[in-house]
Each structure stands twice: as structure tokens, then as C-alpha cells.
Structure 1
Amino acid sequence: MSAPAPTAGAADLGAIRDDYLSRLEASDEAGAVVVVLAALDGGHDAEAVLLDVVAEAQREVGERWAAGAWTVVQEHIATHISERVVAAVSRHRPAPAPTGIGRIAVACLDGEWHGLPARLLAEVLAHHGWEVTFLGSSVPAGQIAVHLNTEGPDVVAVSSSLPSRLPAARRMVEACRASGTPILVGGPAFGPDGRWARAVGADGWAPDARAAAALLAAQVPDGDEAAVTVDDASREEQAFLHASRGELVAGVGSRLRGAAPGDELADDLGHLVDFLAAAVYVDDPALLSRFLHWIGSITVPSGLTGAETGPAVDELVTRLGDSPRTVALLRSDAVRAACADVTAGVAE
């Protein structure tokens, strides 16, 4: 069965997205603002411009950085421009007055500084009639608890890009549960199918802003406590990995290259320990295997190579012998297969 032909509006948005991306590539903030405001004046609604132009362009920016085609500086400039563009859209096409369907607080997890997805969600929900309070990036669970007690929103929506923040997600869930406030989560941190949202006890998960608006319109479901995999053992071993991070990075780096690791290798090994800790926390080897495949797909000069992933995992097994859940996860079929895949990719 063939796919339906795109509508004229969809084709227009594709061209607008390409134009917008070219402005990001040129670090042209003024031009990027002109592109999106012209799209609004041309009849496209704000949600389509925000999600199909700005968000999709940012996804391409991330892919270009991961492929080594763009530098970190270029990615940061593009993200800053997109944040300014979202503000321009909000001023140019303000959301209608709240319809009374509910009050929602939108925030990023503690330690999550990628605030653009949460800001986009806040704008979309406002256009759907919600009374939205955007709390910003890196909001600690304790501060959410204060906000819930003083302001009493009906729902909390939380965004995060990195699975290494899952322990912070569980703390956020517990803060919301203590006040009886449902929590909806989204972003790559929670897995492509939301499995890690269930593992930390979130009441709902949405893959994107449109899905979040639809889920909220239908009513946020109750969380399934039976799906929560976080227990005392997982907390203990995750905490140990966090406390031992520096020692593990130095030891594994020296083992791999015979000297103290340089900045790039240290960064990659630090992420490896962080993702291992998160995988242990939710008891899912797939979380670590996805990270290993990702690290093997990006280009970072002097960073962890695909050929080094297997030896790095082996060294972690040796150093973490007193952490049985961690060792079992490192020895799992999923992690071993990922190491083999990444190594094979380097050899091809």
C-alpha cells in the first residue's frame, strides 16, 4: 500500500524547514525569525511551525553534531537561535486565553539543561487551552514539591533527553506522588517506547508534544506501580557508581591507553559510567546497549573508539566485582552484543 501524497501545506512546511535550517547553519538569528514569522503570516498555525519547522530542524542539528558535521559550538548557536525563535513566535501569535481545562507545570529534570523541548511543549499546551507555568531547565524535585504545595497545578509535565537522568526522574515522580499530582514525562531519556517512564513510575509518557497534548486531553492515566523496577538494591548500586565515577574513569582510561585519559576520553568514559548507573537503576541492559551503539556512531576526536568499548566494559567488570547487579548487567547478552556490533562497525 503506497503512502498518501503530501498536502500542499505539508510540502510548504518542508521547504520552510529547509530554509530555516539554512539560517541556523549560517548562524543567522534575524533570518531565522523572519522565516518562521512569514510562515505564521502565510497561514500556518503556530503548533505546526513550532513542531514541524523548529523542532524538526533542531533534530537535524543534533544528527549533524553526532555525525561530526557540526561542532558543539555550532549546535549551541543553533539551539540559542531556536530558543529566540520560539519566543518570537509566542509574541507574534500569542496563545489564546486558557479554556479552563486545567493548570500544568512544565519543567526539565534536575541536571537536564536542554530546555528547548520543554519550552516547545509549554507553547503547544498553551495553544490547546492549558494554563501553563514553564519552570525552566534543571528543576530539583524538592523545588517541584514546593511549587506543588504553593501553586497546586493539576498536572506536571517533565522533559529530559538523557537516560542518565532517570534517578532524578524517580525523585520527581516521588515528589509528585506525595502531593497526589499526576506526572507526564517525555523525551529520549525515557526510551523510544516509554519503557523507562514506566520503570520509574510516571503516570504517563508521550513521545512528542502533539502526543502529550492528546494524552492530556484524554486524561492522564494512573501510574502502574507493578511496572516500577527501582528498588533498594538498584538505588544502592547506582549511588555507588555515581560516587565512584571519577575513580572508574581514571582507572579504565589508564587501562585502555596506558596513561591518564585526555578530556575527550574522560568525557566518554564518564558518560559510560552514567549510563551504566541508569541501566542498573531501572534494571535494563538495553539502556546501556543503546548507549554503546550511539557512542560507536558518533565522531569525537580522541574519544572512546568502537574497538575500545569491549575492553572498557571488561575493565568495569573487573573493578565492580562487589556490585552483583552491575556485573550481571555488564555481562548480559545485550551489552556483549552491542560491544561486538560496535567493534565490527569499526573494522568494516
Structure 2
Amino acid sequence: MDAEYWQALCDGDRHASLAAVRRLRSSGLTNSQVISEHILPAQRRVGDLWLEGAWSVAQEHAATAINEGLIHWLGSFSDPPAAGRPLVLVSCLEKESHALPALIVSEALVEAGYRVNYLGGAPEPDDLLRQVLRLKPRAVMFSASLTSSLGRQKRMLNQIRSLGLPVIVGGQGFGGDGSRAEALGATAWCASPAHAVALLETLPERTERLPVPEPTMADEEAAWIEEHRAQIAGYVVAGLRDADHFSDELARSSRSWLVELEGLADHLVGCLSAALVTGDETIMVEAHSWLARVLTARDVDTVLLVEAWSLLAESLRGHPLARAAVASAASYAEQAITDDSDDRPA
């Protein structure tokens, strides 16, 4: 990663960042090389710095906005695709605001000669479906960085599949293989922008028109969770703030991370609905491990997570599958804390 570019990004200096990328491009690097060797590593480091508590949400958002602008600028040098080339619609999933990965895929497709309709982050589902029906694209591609954005997507993906259009998905939220993608009804899962381009060369232009499946009990519980997601997350946050044995802990950690608590609880709830619709229990383990890292980096005792799982379970009365998933995660959390205590020197 280029040092001058990284420093400009840390400073939130849009002009200096652009100057550094101009220099990299003038040195002979292709657009793809600038993105893969500099912008992507920098964006990963930005995410790590937030996770480690070294950067605020505002700093992370500022750097991400600069990187998105740089990718748009690099894309302006691509030759326009021929009018007769296939059209691909690229979008984030509903409620997924991390648009940079989808933007990178869009630019890779343009560079490969495809026409692209890029919808960006957090599309409105009905508008997206209208766009699909109007454009009748070669394929629809979705990006998800957060696993917590998967819980409300199954019907959307299956509705597009029912039209006979290939649906390709990718991003960290889908994990390291195609199992979650398959569970949600996607045609294929891609591991990288290059993989996405390769899939378009091999997938049929139209697929079998599969009927939208009837919702399962797990789907229905996940839908209820998504409908009441804000209230459930609010219940967890309120419970944590009011718990006598955590009030001192929360007060002592007077960092700005407390304003992030609602977002962390929302992520927890979203991961639960994602685990239900995909049938992937590892999502809850991943959610625990991720949140434990966030709390540790902010100098907060991870026993807070056990209380969070308990509060979440309280809000799920009448939803046995969800409660079972939470109970499993709570058991994992308690065991992890016990193991950590056993490993500490006496």
C-alpha cells in the first residue's frame, strides 16, 4: 500500500488522496492494480482500525467516501461498453450500506466490456424489482459485507429467480463458500470481482423459472424478527444500560463507543435472523466472536455478551427456533469466558 496515499486517507484529505492515486496510475499501474494493491488493502485497514477502537465511525465513513470517489474516478478512464453488450444490474442487498465492494465489482464488469446498471447501497426492494423488470438484465449481482443484512433477502432473491434471471451474490456477509447463497436462493456465489466476471461467461443467459417457495417456520420467525428488529435491539440496549452489575462498567468506559451500542445490538439481532433463514449456526458463533473483539478493543468485559444473549432471548418468547439459536450462542459465550478465565495465570 502506498504510504502517501494511506497518510492522505488517514488525514481525510480527498485532494491528496487523488494526487497519490494519479501518481500510482502514471507509474504504469492499471486501474485494477491500483484498486487491488492499494485501495482495497487500505479499506480493509480502515475497517480494522474501527474494529480495534482506534478510529471513530466518522473517520471510517470519511475514508470510505474518499475511496468510493477514487474508484469512480478510475472508472472514468474505462472505455464505454458497446451498445449491444449484455447488461448486468449490480446492487447491495436491502439495508446493506457498505457499497464499495459492489462498486468495485461494477468497475470490473465495465472493464470486461459489460454494460452495468449500478444501484449502490441499501436499495428499496420494490424499486429494485421494478428496475429488474424494466431492464431485463443478463444477471443481477448482489453484495453483502454484513452477515446481519442476509435475514430479509430470501424472498427478494427467489422473486428474481422466478423470472428466470441468474442471481449472483458475494461479499464477506455470505461467508467463505456458497452455502449461505444457496440457502437464500441465489444461482451462484462469487469469491472476487474476477470470479464474478468468469461466472457471467459460464452461466446460462436465462435459468429455470423456479416458483417462490413457501416460507418455512424458520423464515416466518426471521421475518418477525426483521419486522421488530429496531424494538428488539432497543430492548437489549436498554437492558444492558439498566443492569446494576454493568452500569459501572459502562460508565467507566466513557468512550464514544457507547453511541455504537445500538448498532452493535442491531447487528446481533440481524445475525440471528440470518442464521434462521440460512440454517447456518456458525453465523451466531461468528457474531459472538466479532462482538467480543469489538468489546475487548474498547476495554469492556466480554461477560457483557452473556447478558446481551440473555436479554435477546427474553424478547423472543413464542419463537422457539430463534430462542434455541440464541441459547446455543449463549452457551458458546459462557464457555468462551470460562476457557479464558482458566487460561489466565493465578
| TM-score band, normalised by shorter chain | 0.7 to 0.9
Which residue of structure 1 aligns with residue 254 of structure 2? Answer: none
Measure how far apart 1:152 and its partner are: 1.4
Q: Report which stretch shifted further, 337-346 or 47-56.
A: 337-346
Distance 1:130 1:340 in 2: 50
Which residue of structure 2 aligns with residue 25 of structure 1? Answer: 10
Q: Residue by residue, what CA displacement relative to the aligned partner does 1:211-232 show, whole Å, maximum 9, x if unpaired?
A: 2122223336999999x99942
Residues 35/155 of structure 1: CA separation in 2 closer, same or farther (3 Å cut): same
C-alpha contact (below 8 Å) 1:286/1:335 kept by paired residues:
no
Residues 19/194 of structure 1: CA separation in 2 closer, same or farther (3 Å cut): farther
Residues 305/210 of structure 1: CA separation in 2 closer, same or farther (3 Å cut): farther
Residues 87/317 of structure 1: CA separation in 2 closer, same or farther (3 Å cut): closer
C-alpha contact (below 8 Å) 2:151/2:277 kept by paired residues:
yes
TM-score by length of 2: 0.84
CA RMSD of aligned residues (A): 3.2
Distance 2:58 2:199 in 1: 36
- Match runs of 1:112-191 below 5 Å: 112-191=96-175
Q: Residue by residue, what CA displacement relative to the aligned partner does 1:138-164 show, whole Å, maximum 9, x if unpaired?
A: 223322221222211111111121122
Confirm or deny that 1:336 pairs with 2:331: yes
C-alpha contact (below 8 Å) 1:288/1:335 kept by paired residues:
no
Measure how far apart 1:301 and its partner are: 9.0
Q: What amino acid sits opposite 2:276 in the alignment?
A: V
Say which SS state the counterpart of residue 198 (structure 1) adopts.
helix
Confirm or deny that 1:234 pairs with 2:218: yes
Confirm or deny that 1:82 pairs with 2:61: no
Confirm or deny that 1:309 pairs with 2:305: yes
Say which SS state the counterpart of residue 153 (structure 2) adopts.
helix
Distance 1:224 1:193 in 2: 23
Which residue of structure 2 aligns with residue 290 of structure 1? Answer: 286
C-alpha contact (below 8 Å) 1:203/1:221 kept by paired residues:
no
Measure how far apart 1:256 and its partner are: 4.1
Distance 1:225 1:336 in 2: 42
Measure how far apart 1:282 and its partner are: 1.8
Identity %: 29
Q: Report which stretch shifted further, 63-72 or 141-150.
A: 141-150
Which residue of structure 2 aligns with residue 108 of structure 1? Answer: 92
Residues 328/132 of structure 1: CA separation in 2 closer, same or farther (3 Å cut): same
Distance 1:253 1:302 in 2: 17
Which residue of structure 2 aligns with residue 58 of structure 1? Answer: 43
Q: Report which stretch shifted further, 66-75 or 34-43.
A: 34-43
Segments of structure 1 that go 5 or more residues without pairing to the other structure are 1-13
Distance 1:295 1:277 in 2: 17
Residues 335/182 of structure 1: CA separation in 2 closer, same or farther (3 Å cut): farther
Which residue of structure 2 aligns with residue 193 of structure 1? Answer: 177
TM-score by length of 1: 0.83
Say which SS state the counterpart of residue 69 (structure 1) adopts.
coil
Which residue of structure 2 aligns with residue 3 of structure 1? Answer: none
Q: What amino acid sits opposite 1:102 in the alignment?
A: P
Which residue of structure 2 aligns with residue 9 of structure 1? Answer: none
Distance 2:182 2:6 in 1: 35
Segments of structure 2 that go 5 or more residues without pairing to the other structure are 251-257
Give the number of aligned pairs.
Answer: 330
Distance 1:252 1:133 in 2: 39
Residues 22/144 of structure 1: CA separation in 2 closer, same or farther (3 Å cut): same
Q: What amino acid sits opposite 2:336 in the alignment?
A: D
Q: Residue by residue, what CA displacement relative to the aligned partner does 1:160-192 show, whole Å, maximum 9, x if unpaired?
A: 211222134323312311321111111112112
Residues 319/22 of structure 1: CA separation in 2 closer, same or farther (3 Å cut): same
Q: Report which stretch shifted further, 28-37 or 302-311.
A: 302-311
Say which SS state the counterpart of residue 165 (structure 2) adopts.
coil
Distance 1:197 1:116 in 2: 20
Q: Residue by residue, what CA displacement relative to the aligned partner does 1:240-269 show, whole Å, maximum 9, x if unpaired?
A: 223444554454445445359974433322
Say which SS state the counterpart of residue 184 (structure 1) adopts.
strand
